Chain A
Amino acid sequence: MRAVPPLLISTVVAASGCSGNQSALDPNGAPAIHIEHLIIVIVIICTVIWLLVMGVLGLAILRRRDRPAEDPISEKRLTTVVSAAVATTVIIIAGLTIASFYTTRGIGVPEDAALTITVRGQQWWWQIFYASSGATPGFQTANEIHIPVGQDVHLKLESTDVIHSFWVPSLAGKQDLVPGRSNGLLLRAEKPGVYRGQCAEFCGLQHSHMAIMVVAEPAADYERWAAAQSGNAVIPAAPDAVAGQAIFMAKPCAACHTVRGTSASGTTGPDLTHIGSRQTIAAGLVETTRGSLAAWIADPQTLKPGNNMPMVPLTSAELQNISAYMESLK
């Protein structure tokens, strides 16, 4: 590559200071940091090689030619130089290969991870299962993973429909979710923060809008979060939310979504028990606010054309009530 990258890398790192960004050059997880070191080493070596080759090319073009073209001595010298160049290539290539092997060792899945989370890819959202641990029963959520900082987390990656790919570049490289197989990935956040990721394997109409948030937080916060998530949904108190709950149960919503603690127990859409506590809705499409919830419920097919949530006819009052109810599900 050109001379630009090392310079660019530093500017890019400086520019993407906010940790919500997804960037391989802004690593905050152990595997991603290993890989970034490798990236920098390889990019620098390759940049030097490119510059050398361009230098020779430039000299070959520009140099003065006073000697005759077919000179047996220069022919022999050329052979020596080309052979030396090939030998150098062999050595550099071998070095880079070995460096790559060493990095591969550093990004493996550990046998004894503190926490195992199952991530199941769906068209076009992420279904997430936390197994029960200690006092906390297992629970299901969607599109947002919380992990404790500084601990190895083992993700089990599965798919129910087509191939997806789990990629949170600031934490680790990507790994595919293949139907009929179970893959694994090591996550280990070194710093608290919100790390955005996105499906990286083309998976159909809404491949573009299939983001995932990884929230890394101190162990105590994580425990608190897990305990809250494992409970049933809060019972709404505000009148609009109460009305919204009634509409939710009467309308088609409840046929696809589960709200634990109510009669809504559909399994085809994301679990909405604590949707109000998630940062985004519709797989990272928009931030969770009452307005965005209303916009999404009113016309999901315009915001995310082709996704599997139908447009349900609602009056504006119904819409307000339902979005109030959704927002109340903290």
Chain B
Amino acid sequence: MSDRVVETLKPALVAGGVLLFICAGGLLGWLRQPRELRLDPPAAADLDQFRLMHNGISGTPPQSYFALGKPYEADAYNLSQGKRLYSWFGCPACHGDGRGGVGPSFLDGWWLYGPEMVSIVASIRDGRPHGMPAFRDKMTIEQIWQLAGYVQTIGSYTPKVAAPSRNDDKNSRPAENRGPAIIMFDEGPTGAHFDQGPSP
């Protein structure tokens, strides 16, 4: 009789085995890099060392950025931090909720310096002509990367795995996790948009 019991217990034992497997995985997960709350100073210094094309558009991030797993584009926590910084550092004063104002809009998918992280980081860090101030002395480089990741998300050029959190205030524009702009904004035969603020 008890053999039958053992037999019928088998699926449960299998389930138990699976759970123990998870437990072992838990130890592995322990070793997995946790949510990065404090970036090592050398890593932060390295994030400052990206290379930019001479025209200020596009470039290459430092190798360490890829080694970290592109955390400022792929990690919801960093994107959410970026979103907070967006309001903390007064970005809405010029760019509004992303629709633009004094400064250009991020929403239309037409960016003067392109959608690459390096360009955005450079824009924030060093400033740009026609009124974009440099935030080099106001923010740490880690914050600048977080903010850049968020700004890139507003434009939503490419699909992302992660999305920043939604603000608990009135929704005045499309969400950051909508479909990528690259589909919605086909360049078409007409070329450049004329209504997006001053050119560099």
Contact = CB atoms under 8 A, between A and B. Distances in A.
A311 interface: yes
B88 interface: yes
B185 interface: no
B173 interface: no
B38 A305 contact: yes
Interface size class of B (residues with CB under 8 A): 10 to 19
Among B38, B44, B139, B143, the one with the most A-chain Cβ atoms within 10 Å of its Cβ is B38
B137 A306 contact: no
B139 A252 contact: yes
A311 B38 contact: yes
Interface string A185-209: 0000000000000000000010000
Interface in B133-155: 137-140, 142-143
Contact of A252 (B38, B41, B137): B137
Nearest to B38: A301
Interface in B16-66: 37-39, 41, 44-45
Nearest to A255: B138
Contacts of B38: 299, 301-302, 305, 311
Contacts, number: 38
A281 B18 CA distance: 48
A88 interface: no
Interface residues of A, number: 19
Contacts of B143: 252, 310
Nearest to A256: B88
Contacts of A308: 84
Contacts of A106: none
A197 B139 CA distance: 32
B137 A313 contact: no
Given A255-B139, A268-B88, A305-B38, 20 more contacts: A205-B37, A250-B137, A252-B137, A252-B138, A252-B139, A252-B140, A254-B138, A255-B89, A255-B138, A299-B38, A301-B38, A302-B38, A308-B84, A310-B142, A311-B38, A311-B44, A311-B140, A311-B142, A312-B140, A313-B140
